[in-house]
Structure 1
């Protein structure tokens, strides 16, 4: 029996758009609700959300019963945490702050078993192999692992051409917020200079044949990226969606019940 099919990887490889949402509330109940609304993928964030390995596993378990594909972002692209997340059953990883082709190659090695890579062999203990029930896991796992590099500063943008040449990297995701800060526009991801840099990077990624992705709540930028050929686009964040609607609910109640 081979490793489980990764529908997200195969969809972006074929150029099929996959729409997603960020999960930062770090709770399996929220993940379950989110998984039932129709997004193609949901990003479990370990970089800026209060997630640890156990909370990530709990959300992976919930999402496994639904159609939304789980993407996991670790806090850093180190081999030890990549190994833990893969063994926990994550099949798609988005690695933050990738700045060079050498770093991208190290990430490819980290998700690949020897002799071609450096991933530690411990699948008998792992949820990924259904606790050794998947007999061919070791020889088929790499085919279903999707590795995405997040380029989000000027150093990474300068190295983008070389990063795109790394075999085994399935896609590149541009992070507008960190890029804006590094360009001197902190808190202004919508600045014209930042948008131009993002769109220029999208064009390079698509031209390379790799999948291009982004998280932005700017519907205009979402559309522009899609027109260029971006295939994995996150359009919402559970934290901001909840906070925005809670504030509106509170304001609406006060206007309705306290106005005279």
Structure 2
């Protein structure tokens, strides 16, 4: 209402004196927003904290990635993070611990907006990952759709018609072998997005302690161009990346990335507490 001292935000009231960047998150699926040409920024949720997931969404991040590959989270923790994020209109992507039908099934049944498969190295692996995300005849996903959260426990009567259109499928290329096969990976039908993993890529090139090395940057550029050029031949994979000391989030956005992961939650917290204690000690 015009002139009202507060407005509703995901069920909560927002005071009128909050920063202008504090806006209602889009209710559109990530996949739809990408199709509309939006550039999206996310946060890697390493801690599996529902509180931090909610804060990130309220702050304006377009999505959070719940990390089941490296972080302490299990599927129950991921569910709590999804619920906390959805309360304020946010979106979640689950990064799986491995490429497997069992992991994909359990993650998808929770109802995230997207799913990320780590260390995809071949077109065959990408095709298998995609098949894990759809029910027969389109894929091999196990069928419990009347019982799981993804279908609102069966209350969503259009679920089987809509679920493939609303789910973002991401494949992470983070090895020398993956870069060699990037064109085959990008060509896989329904593989929506390629996420570049710069640190694992540097390790696979024998440069673990030198992720800014020219050889690493060259491999990343090969991957970037393959994904961005896919738009020109109507394959249309989206390019995603992680901000590092060598590639800031704003630089990735300027280079054409469609999704950018900023710092992880623990990295952000670490920086704040270190700065806080330094300020105190110097007084």
* TM-score between the two structures when normalised by the length of structure 1: 0.92
User: Residue 183 of structure 1 is aligned with which of 202, 205, 213?
Assistant: 205
SS at match of 1:217: coil
Q: CA deviation at 1:59?
A: 0.4
Contact 2:179 2:222 in 1 (8 A): no
1:213 counterpart residue number: 240
In structure 1, the gaps of 5 or more residues are: none
Q: CA deviation at 1:248?
A: 1.8
- Comparing both chains, which one has the higher relative contact order based on Cα–Cα distances under 8 Å and sequence gaps of 6 or more? 1
Confirm or deny that 1:193 pairs with 2:215. Answer: yes
Bigger shift: 60-69 or 145-154? 60-69
1:146 counterpart residue number: 168
Contact 2:91 2:112 in 1 (8 A): no
Bigger shift: 216-225 or 181-190? 216-225
**Judging changes above 3 Å, is the alpha-carbon distance between structure 1 residues 113 and 150 closer, same or farther for their aligned structure 2 residues?**
same
Q: CA deviation at 1:66?
A: 2.0
SS at match of 1:56: helix
| Number of aligned residue pairs | 252
Superposition RMSD on alpha carbons, in Å?
1.5
**Matched residues in 2 for 1:20 and 1:188: separation?**
25
Contact 1:113 1:120 in 2 (8 A): yes
Confirm or deny that 1:34 pairs with 2:61. Answer: no
2:136 counterpart residue number: 114
1:73 counterpart residue number: 95
SS at match of 2:104: helix
Contact 2:116 2:170 in 1 (8 A): yes
Q: CA deviation at 1:224?
A: 4.3
**Matched residues in 2 for 1:253 and 1:228: separation?**
39
In structure 2, the gaps of 5 or more residues are: 1-26, 232-236
Alignment of structure 1 residues 47-196 onto 2, 5 Å:
47-196=69-218
Q: CA deviation at 1:188?
A: 2.4
